[in-house]
Amino acid sequence: MTAAIDHLDNLVAIDTSNPPRDPVGMKQAVDYVSEALACAGFDCSLDDLGEGCLQLLATRGSAGTLVNCHLDTVPPASGWMSNPHKLEIEDAHAIGLGACDIKGAAACILAAAGATQGDAAVLFTTDEEAGQSLCVRRFLDGEHARSRFERAIVCEPTECHVVCEHRSLHSIEASFHGVSAHSSSGVASTMSAVHNAIRWSAGALEWSESTCGDSRISIGVIEGGRKPNMVAESATLRFGVRSRAGVSSEEMLQQLRALPYGSDIEWTSRFFGPSLLPGDHVRVIAKILDVQCAPPVDFWTEAALFAEHGIPSVVFGPGSITWAHAAGERISLAQLDKATTSFRRLFSRSKDSTP
C-alpha cells in the first residue's frame, strides 16, 4: 500500500494531460516507470512514435499475460478545489488528476512489480486519451505481439472487477453546407448550415431516444458561422455512437443518414473502436487475479483492439468510472490495496503456472 501511494504521488505530479500532449511530461512519466521496472528486474524497450506518443514494453522472464496501462490523462476539469497535480489523502481516498483514470493502476503495477520476482510483462502507453490509440495499434501491428502473449489485461477503472464486454465506439464528423447571405433576406431558414445542423441534431436525438434501443448517441461539438447577421455557409458537428456489443454501428449510421437533412451531410469517420466480447479466457484471468467478474460496461477501452488482433483480453483496474475525468478525481485506498494484491498474484507466477 505504501509503495503504491508513493508511486501514485510521483505519477500525479507529472503533467501528462492529453490533449495537448506535452512530449516533456510524457517522457518524464515513461522514464519514471521505466526506472522503477528496471530496478525490479525488467528489461525495458521504448518506442518513440513522435510528439509525445510513447510506448514502453517491460518484460521479466517470459510472461504469457500482458498488462497494458496508459499514463496520459485528460486535462483538469473546471471545479478543482486543490492542485490537481499534488496528491492528497482524505477520507481514505487519494485525490489527484489521473488517480482513478488510470495512474492508480500504474502505481499498483509498479508496487507489485517491485515486490515479486515472477514472469511479468507490462505495456505502458501515452496516447489513450487522444482518441487515436496509435501506441496500441502500432504495438499490435508488430510481428511478435500475437505470438508472444496468450492474453491481455487492459487497465481502466472497474472497481477491481474483471470486465469482458463493452460497447463499440464510432466517432463521426458531419459537415453541413449552406449559402452565405445577409440574415435579413429570409433565406436563413433553408440555406443556413447552422440551422440545418441544429435540425438534424434534434432529429438524431429524438431518433436515439425513441428508436435505436440500447445504443447511444452523443453530440459533443457544434460549430460554424461567422456573425449573427450572416447566414452560415458552413457548420461542423462531431458526435459519437456507442453500440452495444454485437450490434453494428454502421446500421445505426445508415439510419442517421436517412434522417431529414442527412442526405446533404458530408460524413467523415474520425475513430472506430470495436466492441469487446467475452470468451473462455475470462475465467482464467479472474482466477489468476482472484477477483470477480462484472457485467458489461458502457465505456470503450483498448482491450477491444487486443481482442481484434487475436489476443483474448479483459478490462481490470482500481477505481470507479464515476470519478474518471471529474474535478476532484479520486480513488479509494482500499481499491489501491486490492489491485496491488491482484497484480502481485499475477507477477509472482511463471508462464507455465496452472491458473
- Write the pLDDT tens digit of every residue in 234-259: 999 999 999 888 888 888 888 899 99
Look at residues 251, 273, 295 and tell me which one is the last residue of a structural domain.
Answer: 273
CATH assignment of the domain containing 237 = 3.30.70.360
- Same structural domain, 142 and 56: yes
The CA distance from 125 to 72, in Å, is 8
- Same structural domain, 137 and 209: no
- Same structural domain, 150 and 178: no
Is 354 a member of any domain?
no
Radius of gyration (Cα) for the chain, nearest Å? Answer: 22
CATH assignment of the domain containing 76 = 3.40.630.10
Q: Is the dihedral of CA 323, 328, 334, 340 positive or negative?
A: positive
Alpha helices (runs of H) in 142-299, residue ranges in sequence order: 144-148, 188-191, 193-210, 249-257, 281-289
- Same structural domain, 97 and 36: yes
Please tell me what DSSP assigns to residue 297.
B
- Residue 19: all three cell numbers together: 490533449
The Cα angle at residue 338 between residues 94 and 330, in degrees rounded to 5: 20
Is 352 a member of any domain?
no
Q: For residue 297, which phi and psi values (nearest 5 degrees)?
A: -115, 160
Q: Average of pLDDT values for 84-110?
A: 98
Strand intervals (E) in 157-294: 162-163, 169-177, 216-224, 234-242, 266-273, 293-294
Is 53 a member of any domain?
yes
pLDDT digits (tens, 9 = 90+) for 53-64: 999 999 999 999
pLDDT digits (tens, 9 = 90+) for 307-321: 999 999 999 999 999
- Same structural domain, 118 and 264: no
- Same structural domain, 189 and 241: yes
**Based on the structure, what is the number of domains in the chain?**
2
- 9 sits in the region (left: phi over 0; alpha: psi -120 to 50; else beta) called alpha
The pTM assigned to this predicted structure is 0.92
| Average of per-residue pLDDT values in the chain | 93
Does residue 212 surpass a pLDDT of 80?
no
- Same structural domain, 186 and 81: no
Distances (CA, A) of 264 to 181, 188, 195, 330: 19, 16, 13, 45
Is 50 a member of any domain?
yes
Containing structural domain, residue 234: 174-273
Look at residues 214, 249, 273 and tell me which one is the last residue of a structural domain.
Answer: 273
- Same structural domain, 135 and 14: yes
Look at residues 273, 295, 311 and tell me which one is the last residue of a structural domain.
Answer: 273
pLDDT of residue 276: 96
- Same structural domain, 74 and 116: yes
- Same structural domain, 283 and 262: no
Q: Average of pLDDT values for 153-160?
A: 98
Residue numbers annotated as active site: 128
- Same structural domain, 161 and 284: yes
Residue with cell 467523415: 268
- Same structural domain, 122 and 47: yes
